[in-house]
A and B are shown apart, each in its own frame.
Chain A
Amino acid sequence: MRKHAILATVLVVIALFACGVAQSEETEQQGVGEIRIGVVAPLTGGASTTGNDMWQSAVLSAEEINANGGVNVSGVNMNITLVKGDTETSREGGVKAVTKLITVDNVDILVGGFSSGITYADQVVAAEHKVPFIITGASSPIITRRDDIDTNYFFHHCPTTDDYPDSTLLFVDDVVKPEIYERFNFSEDRPLRLAVLYQDSKYGEGVYDGIKKVIEKHNLNMDIVAAEKFKMSETDFRTVLTTIKASNPDVLYPAAFLNEQTLIVAQGRRDVGLNNIYLSVECNDDPDYYSGVENWGEYSIQESRFGPYAVPSGDIHDAVVKFRDDFEDKWGTSPSMMGASTYEGVYIAAKAIEDAGNLDKSNIRASLAALEMPQIIEVMQNGVIAFSPDYRESKFELYMQQLISNETLDETRPKIVWPESVKETDFVLPDWYEPGSKAEEQTPAAPTPKGPGFEAVVAIASLFAIAYLVLRRSK
């Protein structure tokens, strides 16, 4: 018995020693010539298409950097090794992935993070371990603004829900509104009637709050005549679109994901006859959207920063085309917007480490905070990638596209119509467009108390009916 105990103890000691040697060897190798970047993405689950696109884009950039000699860290050229962190499209999966990347894979920096909800959960682990995280796929500004954790290590490299409405509504005010007002002889005093249909989530509510802030900030002559919510993954929008139509909007701004946006536009135009200009948030600039919405999406507006079809003119044009071609050559599909920012995220991480001169995480953080590098494949404000000193957000130059029918493909394709610096063509107000009110009905649209209508009478009658049934039952 005693012999067995001694043997077991010796085996355990040998095993522990072996593990220690293996661990130290890995650490040593890592210190000599390798930068380990953890890519946090939903590689499985509902958002796996986007997640795999993020991973493939990160692989492309890491290969490009390594092929060019790697990252020069204080005179030593180090190659990038990417490590997968699969969030499984869930909060729990995100926490598990980030924990593993930090504690088991010993990554130097994190890149990626799709979905505000998932990132909100998994960034807590990165904050505890003080690991720099370049977030390329979560749109809620809260990610770098929350105060319950230390957010100093988070750098937001994708537009936030505050940014989308800023560009979109400035475009509407600048281009769409004058076209409508000229065609229908509206007076300049008439406020543009805007309806909002937003997802019941941080993302949707963020966009709606952003819309209100932008109208106030720029003092835009717009009234929100309807603001309706829907549950995430909703598929039937006919009723809510019918009520929106009753509020007579000029423009409809949905804050929705791809599947929802497709159905909103198709059901709105086809079933409800809401012949407005439909706006769209950038996440819908995706080949699936164009095939799904068919020609119902014609003349709708798509805010974007990187898309599968339109390429902004100007200095960035060639870089975008090269990335797209390289991606298609390597993976056989088109890259998505989330892929584009993750591709840039790896370049940003490499530059920050090069500037830091070592792999110390606090030094990497400091160099990210001071980073200033030329735009890569997405148009940035002033042509430079830099993080704002307050909330560490990079600022994109978002552009607007209009969907134009392509008869050969029997689908629509986007054309950039705003801003002037990157536009491909002019905005067109379609013939079938119907404004919210006629010229002679130019009334201010601010919500006013309404008298009880037909539905109120039905509601009261229903309440009486239920009360009657309950009373009868209690008797």
Chain B
Amino acid sequence: MDISIFIQILVWGLYAGCIYILLAIGLNLIFGVMKVVNFAHGELLMIGAYVTFWLYSSSGINPYLVVPISTFIMAILGILIERFGFRPIRGTGKLNEIFLSLGLIYLLQNSAALLWTTNSRTIHSPYSDILVPLGTIKLPLDYIIIIIATILFLIAFQLFMKKTTIGRAMRATSQNREAAALMGINVERIDMLSFALGSALAAVAGSLWLISGQMVNPYVGSLPAIKAFAVIIIGGLGSIPGAIIAGLILGIAENVVPVIIQSLVAVFNVEMSFTAWKDTIAFLILIIVLILRPTGLFGKKGE
């Protein structure tokens, strides 16, 4: 196989990694602050993609310009979910939180089916015909935009968490909820804001994913959510740098490793397709990391 083909596959992995990172960071933030495992996080990606589709199809404007609006709408939805879903059951036991988030999966899926039917929807990017030559390969402009947009989002997110009062309050609540409350931080408001931010990041992930030519239907959220869980476990629960590194590892590995294995077995004259093993490889990485580092790459003991 040509090296240019290998580089191209690497880029596809990078793109997948960007989507995983955006989704996993939101999930990690909610877990870090509220200690809630939101199983319906993939459904927030799905609803975010649908909102972008709806805004785009009703306005006809550039889909990238629609993303901030759908992100804002999803942040409000996140606030509502936290305020009327998770807050009333806070402190009543982990099982209630788990069942609430499982129930949210069905609620959001059926709501999407009711609003937009079960037919798959897609968005036509205005840049889908533009190819950018990068050395020996040509990349569609949309992927370059998505990768750059993810980097910018991550920088903005880091600045928000490090430089703003709310960001510092979120980190403090994540580190020690009681101490943060004693220091005068309104932890319930921080819960609400972290859920809003997590939902907004899921909306960004879903919107960029849709604009890159994917199709959304009410049931697409499950697999990305499972991958996002794998990312935060590999990276370490609650660790944002861990989620970034693990997202990249997972995205690149699940695209590159099957091709490598296929070429390796071809040396022994075995013709076998490994491309359907993407997910297997993702979870194999998860198992290997858990064996070598049970707390994940950047996790702390006790999480």
Interface residues of A (CB under 8 A from B): 46, 48-49, 200, 227-231, 233-236, 238-240, 242-243, 245-246, 258-259, 262-263, 266-267, 270-273, 288, 292, 294, 447, 449-456, 458-460, 462, 466, 469-470, 473
Are B273's CB and A227's CB within 8 A? yes
Contact sample, A vs B, 5 pairs, CB 8 Å cutoff: A49-B117, A230-B276, A238-B12, A288-B120, A452-B264
Chain B residues, Cβ within 8 Å of A228:
273, 275-276
Chain B residues, Cβ within 8 Å of A288:
119-120
Are B260's CB and A458's CB within 8 A? yes
Kindly state the separation between the CA atoms of A236 and B250 in the bound complex, as whole angstroms: 14
Chain B residues, Cβ within 8 Å of A229:
273, 275-276
CB distance from A291 to the nearest CB of B (A): 8
Query: Quick check: is B220 within 8 A (CB to CB) of the other chain?
Result: yes
Query: Quick check: is B219 within 8 A (CB to CB) of the other chain?
Result: yes
Are B9's CB and A459's CB within 8 A? no
Are A246's CB and B260's CB within 8 A? no
Chain B residues, Cβ within 8 Å of A449:
266-267, 269
Q: Which of A243, A258, A294 has the most CB of B within 10 A?
A: A243
CB distance from B114 to the nearest CB of A (A): 12
Partner of B8, one of A242, A292, A469, A473: A242
Binary contact readout B25-57 vs A (1 if CB under 8 angstroms, 0 otherwise): 000000000000000000000000000000000
Are B1's CB and A270's CB within 8 A? no
Are B260's CB and A455's CB within 8 A? yes
**Helix, strand, loop or mixed for chain B's interface?**
helix
Nearest B residue to A245 via CB reads B5
Binary contact readout B4-32 vs A (1 if CB under 8 angstroms, 0 otherwise): 01101100110110000000000000000
CB distance from A275 to the nearest CB of B (A): 12
Are A450's CB and B276's CB within 8 A? no
Binary contact readout B262-303 vs A (1 if CB under 8 angstroms, 0 otherwise): 111011010101011011000000001000100000000000
Q: Which of A267, A273, A458, A459 has the most CB of B within 10 A?
A: A459
CB distance from A383 to the nearest CB of B (A): 35
Partner of B12, one of A236, A453, A466: A236
Binary contact readout B118-150 vs A (1 if CB under 8 angstroms, 0 otherwise): 111010100011010000001010010000000
Q: Which of B262, B275, B278, B288 has the most CB of A within 10 A?
A: B275
Kindly state the separation between the CA atoms of A228 and B273 in the bound complex, as whole angstroms: 5
Chain B residues, Cβ within 8 Å of A227:
271, 273
Kindly state the separation between the CA atoms of A238 and B258 in the bound complex, as whole angstroms: 13
Are A469's CB and B292's CB within 8 A? yes
User: If the complex has contacts A242-B8, A271-B213, A454-B6, are A459 and B264 also in contact, measured as CB distance less than 8 A?
Assistant: yes
Binary contact readout B214-236 vs A (1 if CB under 8 angstroms, 0 otherwise): 11010110010000000000000
Are B276's CB and A455's CB within 8 A? no
Are B276's CB and A292's CB within 8 A? no
Partner of A456, one of B15, B118, B263, B269: B263
Chain A residues, Cβ within 8 Å of B6:
454-455
Chain A residues, Cβ within 8 Å of B2:
246
Chain A residues, Cβ within 8 Å of B122:
262, 292, 294
Are B255's CB and A235's CB within 8 A? no
Nearest B residue to A243 via CB reads B259
Chain B residues, Cβ within 8 Å of A243:
1, 5, 9, 259, 262, 275
Kindly state the separation between the CA atoms of A469 and B293 in the bound complex, as whole angstroms: 11
Nearest B residue to A451 via CB reads B267
Are B275's CB and A259's CB within 8 A? no
Partner of B263, one of A245, A263, A459: A459
